[in-house]
Structure 1
Amino acid sequence: MPLALVLSSSVLLAGCGLLPGGDESRTVTVWLMQGSASKEFVDRFTEQFEKDHGDIDLDIRVQEWNGIATKVKKALKDESADGPDVIEVGNTQVAQYVDEGGLYDLTLESARDLGMDDWLPGLAEPGRYDGAQYGIPWYAANRVVIYNKDLFEKAGITRPPRTREEWLADTQKLNSGGSQGIYLAGQDWYTLAGFIWDEGGDLAKETKEDSGDWRGSLHSAAALRGMDFYQRLQALGRGPRGADEQHPEQAGVFAKGDVAQIIAVPGAARAIEEKNPGLKGKLGYFPIPGKKAGEPGAVFTGGSDFVVPEASDDHKGAVAVIQALAGKKWQTDLARTMNYVPNKAKLASAVSGEEGAAAMAVGAANGRATPNSPRWAAVEADNPIKGYMTAVLMGGDAAAEARKASARITRQLGVGGGGI
């Protein structure tokens, strides 16, 4: 599953203490997640960082995503010298780790001095909790529309749609000659979330700032408008109403060659082309359209933030590593190496030469994250949004089904009684 960090030399020396008085070398241990950065990137960064910081040796350890939450929680309570000083975590995981204790407050070192006002909101907001910044944005990824250029040409569509209404009209045109205008599974709730945000709604709302009292809000008028658009779009294809985008895996469906569009991260194109080499060079990308031309639709932003354990014995060294990795030089390098979205919209030009990543960067500027409750993982584990979507697509009353789902979300987020 979200920074050109500018510090004057005086702030760097006095505020972050990156040049201690002694010459003794120390080791900063960094946990990066598998797949986040190539070995070549890690080697380049390590060599340059150690050259720039002669008193710091880097120990970068790659971690598996499977079971990482348990491992991170243990590390946050480990006060031994062996523990990590910097940890890469999923952007939506930060609130949970803060709530359970053990994260270092990076507000003074990271916030305004490190350019927080320019961070992508889908990365910055989940890293903020109770007014403090615990997570520093590293990179983002989000969904775009992947389309079959040949099918668009056959339908007489010469450019991607600019608005939602154009998108619906084009998708209707694409439903011809046996082709499917769009493959959209009935339970693709991340895509639904974007439509809800576009309408001014949300999946859940905190009753007042920093209260910790969250309530499901799928039944709001704005959220219902988002569901209505989802229903109209989904009806223009033959996606299953009772399954998500992984069942069956939508890249495989698209690879058959008779589907004009899917909503996915650009990386799905690799799987499509592996399944059907005949589609190489025939895939295009565009940001999910918004309600108005020139305004991309809201999207769920996945990606990573950096956090620092309170138990680390080298907070200053940890901040130095984050400063470098989240700064312009290494943000640009990472984006070009991995086709990710940099952590600031102003750095999006780094991926301008990659059509899929460039479309992703446009959408990321209007990115959001799931509700910043430490208990949101419980909602995803037994997700009432999926059941709500299927019920509506199968003909159920949207308002009634939304109220049921909102009540379940409220209970899952820990509010007694489940009222909405």
Structure 2
Amino acid sequence: MKRKLIAAIGVAAVLSGVAACGSDSGKKNDDKSTSSSTNAAGPAADFKGKTLNVWLMSGSNPPGWTKDITAAFQKQYPGATLKVTVQQWDGIQQKLTTALSESTPPDVIEVGNTQTPYYAATGGLKDLTSVKSDLGGDDWLPSLNGSAVYDGKQFAAPWYFASRVVVYNKKIWSAAGITTPPKTQDELFTDLGKIQAKGTKDAFYLPGQDWYAFDGMLLDAGADLVKKDGDKYTANLDTPQATQAINLYKKLNSYGTAPKDKDEATPQQSDVFAKGDVGSFIGLGWEAAGAIAKNPALKDQIGYFALPGKTADKTASVFVGGSNLAISQNSKNPELAQDFLKMAMSDQFEGELAKEGGIVPNKAALNSQLAGNAYGTVAAAASANGGTTPLIPAWGNVENAPNPIKTIFMTGVLQGKSPSDAAKKANSEIDKRLSQQ
């Protein structure tokens, strides 16, 4: 099964976006988008005393954006309460599965783009097909909206997208005599060797189970995670392409002291980078911001570049991660939840999220908000050569902890198993999960 490549997001779009927050046309859209059709006659009082519970993920909601949308919501619905609860990615799939099965789930949830088909198929999400246009869906990039659609129906709204890039400490790289980012993987290896020769143990900090970073390498090698066998999907890690990808990952891991049996959150790699003695790591914009928050001295020392490809003409492929916003099927406040989605998807708040968070927005017209954001510009350019995990419902079972790609395949190879042996064992576990309903 060929995985969907994202070709609609490029640096040209970032630099040439035609709509910006604060423009007259944008203001008209904002006014329309934050006025609910259910409130046209002014029945905001209907929502007095109600609490809208919104679950967002760690790193997704910048403080300025959260403050502004909360204020706008409280103004629009005086007497109602917006309660935003920040969840951690680690273990979220099991937590969401449980919450969505209960009679009083959170009203609005942030769902990873790789996990949305799973929740849609299990009946946990409200069908938004009839209100897609009202939410602004006519302008969503089709390539980014794909993960929010299941069985031809719209079960979520595409919220934001991001790709992992190399975050590096300019001071450490400069001390090793490196003045420009590498253009090829061979140049990267040479540069990392120079940095280590200067005494930096972690020239490249890459934990052994950073699954999404590895998925980009799989994409770059042309590896398909699954293949279709009749009417079912089966695992596909025992291929020369997957071996090529894991060998690249293993080599990069060797340029540092990151654990081989932990992921990027254990410990949080931004905390490790914040100490100031790490040359580089693969990460997201919020992780760089987290490092700066812990060590403000890093503010002017951090730079970004896309992981280089084998040749200088194209950067390596990346996994394009991101999140969708959905309404729980059992929400007790479906109208209020729909109005919140409309507000969050408006040009005002989608644009503000892009500007503050450095993420790729769901409309090409808002890409101008990334101008001047060093991470966002690099990430958007890298995303032009990116893709996703298989957009099939059963894929959510694969990502459930313990993810066999992480624990069996990746850590297995990094700890000395052959890619072939580790792949066979991981494939067996993946096949069991793909067969689960």
Task: Return the TM-score normalized by structure 2.
Answer: 0.75
Structure 1 counterpart of 2:54: 31
Q: How does 1:43-122 map to 2 (within 5 A)?
A: 44-45=68-69, 59-65=81-87, 86-110=108-132, 114-115=137-138, 118=141, 121=144
Aligned residue for 2:402?
382
> Secondary structure at the residue paired with 1:193?
helix
What is residue 14 of structure 2 aligned with on the other side?
Answer: none
Long gaps (5+) in structure 1 = none
Say which SS state the counterpart of residue 172 (structure 2) adopts: helix
What corresponds to 1:128 in structure 2?
A: 149
* Structure-2 change in CA distance of 1:398 and 1:38 (3 Å): closer
Residue 303 of structure 2 aligns to which amino acid in structure 1?
Answer: G
Out of 173, 180, 187, the residue aligned to residue 194 of structure 2 is 173
**Letter of the aligned partner of 2:56 in structure 1?**
M
Deviations 1:234-288 (A, max 9, x none): 2333433344334454344434544321112233334444655554421212223
Cα deviation, 1:264-318, whole Å, max 9, x if unaligned, reads 2233334444655554421212223344546443333444312234456886765
**Residue type of the alignment partner of 1:201:** A
1:16-46 Cα shifts (integer Å, max 9, x gaps) = 9926885544439462426543565455446
In 2, distance between residues paired with 1:332 and 1:140?
Answer: 13
2:374 corresponds to: 355
Secondary structure of 2:114 counterpart: helix
Question: Conserved in 2, the CA contact under 8 Å of 1:120 and 1:344?
Answer: no
Distance of aligned partners of 1:218 and 1:125 in 2 relative to their CA distance in 1, 3 Å threshold: farther
Partner of 1:192: 214
2:74/2:82 contact within 8 Å kept: no
Count the aligned residue pairs. 400
Q: CA-atom RMSD, angstroms?
A: 4.1
**Which residue in the other structure is 1:285 paired with?**
304
- Unmatched runs of 5 consecutive residues or more in structure 2: 1-5, 10-18, 20-24
Amino acid at match of 1:139: Y
For 1:323-362, what aligned pairs fall within 5 Å after superposition? 323-362=342-381
Identity %: 35
1:148 maps to: 169
1:117/1:217 CA distance change after superposition, 3 Å: farther
Q: CA deviation at 1:195?
A: 0.4
TM-score (norm: length of structure 1)? 0.77
Structure scoring higher RCO (CA < 8 A, sep ≥ 6) equals 2
Looking at structure 2, the residues matched to 408 and 168 of structure 1 have their Cα atoms a distance apart, in angstroms, of 34
1:401 and 2:425 aligned: no
Deviations 1:147-177 (A, max 9, x none): 1112222333222223334323332333312
Using the alignment, how far apart are the partners of 2:294 and 2:102 within structure 1?
Answer: 45
- Aligned mates of 1:375, 1:268 — CA distance in 2: 29
Q: Aligned equivalents of 2:291 and 2:418: distance in 1?
A: 36
Moved more, 298-307 or 400-409: 298-307
Query: Is the CA contact 2:192–2:204 (under 8 Å) kept in the aligned structure 1?
Result: yes
Change (3 A) 1:274 1:415: closer
Task: State the shift of 1:192 in Å.
Answer: 1.0
Could you tell which deviates more after superposition, 272-281 or 391-400? Answer: 272-281
Distance (Å, rounded) in 1 between the aligned partners of 2:301 and 2:240: 40
The separation in 2 between residues aligned to 1:78 and 1:389, in whole angstroms, is 35
Q: Tell me how far apart the structure 2 counterparts of residues 400 and 24 of structure 1 sit (CA, whole Å).
A: 63
Q: Deviations over 1:74-117 (max 9, x none)?
A: 775678xx876544333333223222214232234327972466
Distance 1:404 1:88 in 2: 32
1:129 and 1:314 map into 2 onto residues whose CA distance is: 23
Q: Secondary structure at the match of 1:331?
A: helix
